[in-house]
Structures are given as structure tokens and as C-alpha cells.
Chains A and B, each alone.
Chain A
């Protein structure tokens, strides 16, 4: 109590010897007080870091990854001479039955970090498009322009077997944030320099981080001879945790070259994104 009076908030009626002794009336900073302020500050900084990671950086990366993917799509269009001229004319022409473009073109896997295609998933949002690059290390997954990684040693789009990719669920652009929203039959479309590969979502399963069998040519059946063209999307589960993984599967449906324009299932979001 006595020490408190030296703060001199209210004028002391009787002259206080302690106040008189101290010419300036500020309280002496205590070690505990300063320590407390430092700890409070650190606590606020940790909260700031979480906010930065989960929202700020996430939003920044999501935006830059999306615009990088759109740039890439335009680039491919530019290098394709007879591309976007009749994108709608062909499907609208007499036989509405989808034209048969034969077996899908299968490119060879690019070098690590090199781009192999774009991922379009209407269920992930009408503005969703992300770039897939070779490899699943952090230089791909945390990148400002890539974000989705193709597992080395898994097959390529359109190839018989398993085209397996990975992305963050939350933070770093959250390329597969809405993976649990996929519904059976949802299109999962891969765009490459060669063309468009349409897969249809079939199911997802929750697995441990060690479940490498989801990457097998026949998922969960290593050693089996593949007959189907599968796509596998892996990310972490639950949200904001890396305790488990979630694997979403799709089955190949159709393929068309770039000259035929984007497939109907993504034509509207491709057009809306200003790519075509």
C-alpha cells in the first residue's frame, strides 16, 4: 500500500515521505512486471503467427497459385495454333454424342518441380484452378505458383494405373481444402499441354500417413495389375491437423485434345476464369 501511494494518482493530503523522496512520481518497473509484459507480447505474437499462417498467407498463396495456373492455361492456348477458335462449335455440331478422340495421350513425367498440368474441380469453387508439378516436397506444395504435387513413381494423367497428387488441406493455399465436400460423380479435370482428362469422383477414405498403398496402380492392392485409369488426391485430415490423411479417388471417364476446347463439365468455370 505504501509503495502504491508513490504513483501519486490522487494528491496525498498529508505529505508522503516516500513521494517526497522520489522527485519523479513514476513507479519503479519491477522484474516480474516486465517479464509479464514480455510473455503477453509473445503470446500475442504466437496468435498473430497462427492468423498469418491459416488465413493471411493461405489467402495470399491461394490467389497467386490460382493466377499462376490461369497464366499457364493461357500459355498452352497460345502455343496451340488451332485452339480456342471453335471451342463451342464442335460440341454443338450435329452429333451431340461426344466425339471419340481415341485413347488419351500420355505424356512422360517431367523433372522435379516442373509443371505437368492444371487441376480443375468445380466442387472446390467456381474460381478453383491449381497447377500440378512433379514431386511432393515442400518446394512444390508450399510454392506461391504450384501448390499441388504429383507423387513420383505414380502414373501420369490418362495412363492406366494411378495418377496420384497431393496438396495442403489448410494453409499454403489449401489446394484440397474442400476435399470432404466431393460428391460421387463430381468431375475432377486435369488440363495439360496435350488436352483435358476428365475423371469422376468415386469415394474417399481416411487413412494413416503410412498408407502408401493408396498410391498403388490399383489403390490399396499393391502388386495387382491395373486395368483402370485412377486419380488419387491425398491431403491431411482432420482440418488443421496432420494426424491422418484422406485419399479421394476418381475414375477416368474421357479425354479430349486441346483443339477440342475444355470439356463441358468445366467449360463454364474455364470461361469464367477468363482463360479461354
Chain B
């Protein structure tokens, strides 16, 4: 999977690395902005109150 991605990336080594870093940043940013808040509401009630 990642080997295939590495082959698909064009250019010399440093261009590939730069592209990879940008790709990772975009994915992480998308996860933090949209995915995690939604997942958080579903899987993590984090109850802090006392209740009967």
C-alpha cells in the first residue's frame, strides 16, 4: 500500500518527501477537524457528574 504510494509519487527524493509530509498533514488535519469531533460524541460519554 505505502510502497505503491511511494512509487506513484513523482519527482526526486526531496520532492517525494515534501509531498508525503503535506499529504500526512492534510490527512491529520482533516481527522482533527471533522472526524474526531464526531467520533468523540459517539464513543466517549466521559460522564463527570454524580447521578442515581
Minimum CB–CB distance from B2 to chain A (whole Å) comes to 6
Please state if A38 and B1 are interface contacts (CB–CB under 8 Å).
yes
Q: B25 on the interface (CB 8 Å rule)? A: no
Q: B52 on the interface (CB 8 Å rule)? A: yes
Please state if B48 and A236 are interface contacts (CB–CB under 8 Å).
yes
Q: Count contacts on B: residues with CB < 8 A to the other chain.
A: 21
Minimum CB–CB distance from A67 to chain B (whole Å) comes to 20
Residues of A within 8 A of B45 (CB): 138
Please state if B47 and A37 are interface contacts (CB–CB under 8 Å).
no
Q: Count contacts on A: residues with CB < 8 A to the other chain.
A: 39
Q: A141 on the interface (CB 8 Å rule)? A: yes
Q: With contacts A56-B32, A57-B36 known, is A37 near B48, CB below 8 A?
A: no
Please state if A49 and B49 are interface contacts (CB–CB under 8 Å).
no
Closest to B37 in A: A57
Select A168's contact among B2, B36, B40, B46, beta carbons within 8 Å.
B46
Select A172's contact among B1, B46, B52, beta carbons within 8 Å.
B46
Please state if B50 and A141 are interface contacts (CB–CB under 8 Å).
no
Residues of A within 8 A of B47 (CB): 209, 236, 242
